[in-house]
Structure 1
Amino acid sequence: MTFFPNNKQTLLSNRLNKQQEIKIPVSAILIHPSILLLLILMDETVKPLRIPPQMSVYADKHNIFHLEQSMLSSLVIDQPEDPISYLISLLRRSSMDIPRVLLFGPTAVGKHTVAKKLSAELRAVHVSIHSLLEGQSELSVQARQYTLKEQELPAELLVRLVQQRLNEIDCFNRGWVLEGIPQTRLQALSLQQAGVIPEHVVVLEAPDDVLLERSQGKLVDPLTGDVYHRTFIWPVDDTVAQRLEEGRSPSETQRLAELQRYRCEATGLSSAYQHVLKIINADQPHADIYQQVCCGQLLRSVAADGSALGDEIQSYLDDGRPVPDSLVLQVLEERLSRMDCSCRGWILHGFPRDLQQAKSQQESQQPNRVFFLELTDDVCLERITLRATDPVSGERFHAMTRPAPSSEVQNRLKTRPEDSTDTVTHKLSQYRIHTAALQSVYPDAYHIDADQDPHSVFEALESRLTVY
């Protein structure tokens, strides 16, 4: 936004009054810098301005012109009494409150359903490959030619498409949820270079056998485009259920190829967003998946928000040091006091860890249910130290419960340092020391046998949630 001193206002007013074909009121003196420059250069009495070329490069790189256009549009539409305060609040809202979420994962993992619900709750714009291809712009037409030939979109074209869409006024004002984009590490880095920087990145994951089963039996609501499934997601409304149609399902060969392609890119994709990444297990009820997507990782989100508290927390995370209790409790108290936690409740996982944390938390927020998941040290060691990750596909295997499918995969598996026997044994020792003290703070806590399958553990927890 550009404001002009009085002498330039008079100059521009005179110039505009002399041009009969330009029907612009003199009071409309907030105009685009390029128009200002043109009008000034037209007047021989004004010394020509020399604009360094770096200015236009900077403005183009950071979407300055688009920012000015969007702010001017909002200003003219809303016509606030105090324009300066209004623009300041608009800038603050644009940088802090407007959601910028990226959601990706393998085929049939449920990205579309979660993204659609998330964008509706956040009142953000839902953007997907499908919606980008439906556009009428020259870029959309060009992109459709690749899909008609069943060819992959070039990274440069995809980035231009995304950038064009996110620069539109609705995405600027309301924010966006980007579904299934990017699909490769190259695309991710290209988007970052283009200035498409998400605040939150959510990855939905599930085993391949679950994904292959989900890809069959998909149903679509022809009126809304919502996706359902005969087994996993069935509509509550019978009217919706009656109009469902069979969705397009790729062949088994195509599904396997898509999964393999994703697995090869998954590690690189995740590493491109490691500081804002949250991985969600999608092999669970849809409502639970959505709840986890919305909660996020509290400390990381605060660390990334640019506040003084966030910068302090980030310094500990960068150095690998534990965040002090005083900071954790400060963040926790603020989060649990928000409206959603007050109305819907909350679940804390892995906190408090010791007696001091438990006592400090009781001074502000007290839980009405406490669960201890019980497991012997031998089973803990077996579960953790025998797991390893394939650096090529990103899949995690376990020597006993999910062994590698071949000797080739087995030979390239990597074990994380924190999963070593010594590290796990030390953590278990610390846990046992603090558990006895924690039990004294929560004498009415429920103790659940965790040496069972996940479904049985969940049922044991759920049955005690309704006991008063």
Structure 2
Amino acid sequence: MDVTSAPHQIPPEMALYAERHRIFELMQALMEALLIYRPQDPVDFLIGHLQKDSDEVPRVFMLGPPASGKTTISRWLCKHLSATYLCPQDLMHDRKLKKSREVLACLAQQEPLSDELWASLLEERLSADDCVDMGWVLDGFPETRDQALLLQGRGIAPRHVIMLYAPDTVLVERNLGKLLDPFTHEVYHATFDWPIDFMVQRRLVAPEGISEPATASRLLESHRHLPGLLQAYAKSHKAIDADQPCVDVFAQALSFVQSRPPSKAPFLPRVILLGPPGSGKRLQAALLAQKYGLVSLCLGDLLREQVAGRTPVGELIAPFFESGYPVSDSIILRVLKDRLGRQDCLSRGWVLHGYPRDIDQAALMKHTGFEPNRVFFLSLPTEVALQRLCQWATDPVSGERHHSLFKPPADPEVNQRLRRNPKDRPERVEVKADLYHQQVRELEEFYEDGIPVNADQDPYTIFEHIESSLVKSLPARGP
């Protein structure tokens, strides 16, 4: 594009398509794969990479000191995500791998496996169909920074790295109570995780290297290599305290694994705020506009501007205002499409509140090409809405608004002359709230990525919730 002709009128359909299909992330993944593998035929390689469709499958390294719960959390993640479980012990005894003879020779001579051999085993195992199609969780490897750098050089890069940690006293106590099922390789604990099955209880054995001196030596080695591992995975790791119930550790690990890394794609916010009367839509829209420069749009204000300006569309709207009937959807859509198509909305983004009110209006808005990329549903009990709205009154002299609970007038004389807006009567607020609750279920189904927000709290707490969902990528959908 010629930069001298800016600003460019880019059709909104282009941005919608790019965001919906994650074109930027797709191109980024393809370029990364090209630079890592450096194939002789880039076109055929890219075609094969796209056919695998494996960019969204889990690729997880589970790291941490001995007895931190790596195996338990890894297996739980694999069961929940339908991913492949991998660990160094399985790689050593996998006879299907080409390097298995070298591994057996090293084991026979009681020699440690070289880092190159480990990397070759893992590289071959990760190329198998189950790992490519379903993803994988690698338990306990790499153990050193050199191993991590070697894996990176071979293109083995996890999407998420989980670092478990706990006090040494806790880890030693855990390790001393470990028991292993030699048939299933499940790890149990004599105190914290005793198996229910009597047959499993009978065949449990103590794993090798769990004595207190051996555990202390392994912990010392783990602490020595931890800073290097953190440096190797500085931008993709999450540290989780393992000194808490396993279910809590698993919940944090699962939340992290299911999150997407921050996207570097250009993002233009197009936000819709929906909620019953009194839920604070206008205030949240103003806060978003103030902090991020979005264009704040209220449908009622747009319609009133057309009437006040005596535009041709305003002349069509005026009879509806005079009669009290809702403005027809076709006129609303005409006004909305014109406003959203202006340069400020196209270049800065927008936040629209109070529209659409039902699924028909949402479908009509979608057909215009102006689709939101974030929809927030603000929930508020009707009794709280009545408390917020029905106790406002205006001073006819100063024009200042007062609330009998939150902002009462200090002067009794001012209190005497306050006037309430008929629109804030309890019966009218209840009707609007009931109408919203009748329509919101269908709107939630229409906007399946909609984000629920509890509006019965401090406005700035609500804004922080909305802001966090605005600046972060939406979580990946399940299959």
Give the TM-score normalised by the residue count of structure 2: 0.47
Higher relative contact order (CA 8 A, sep 6+): 2
TM-score (ref. length: structure 1): 0.48
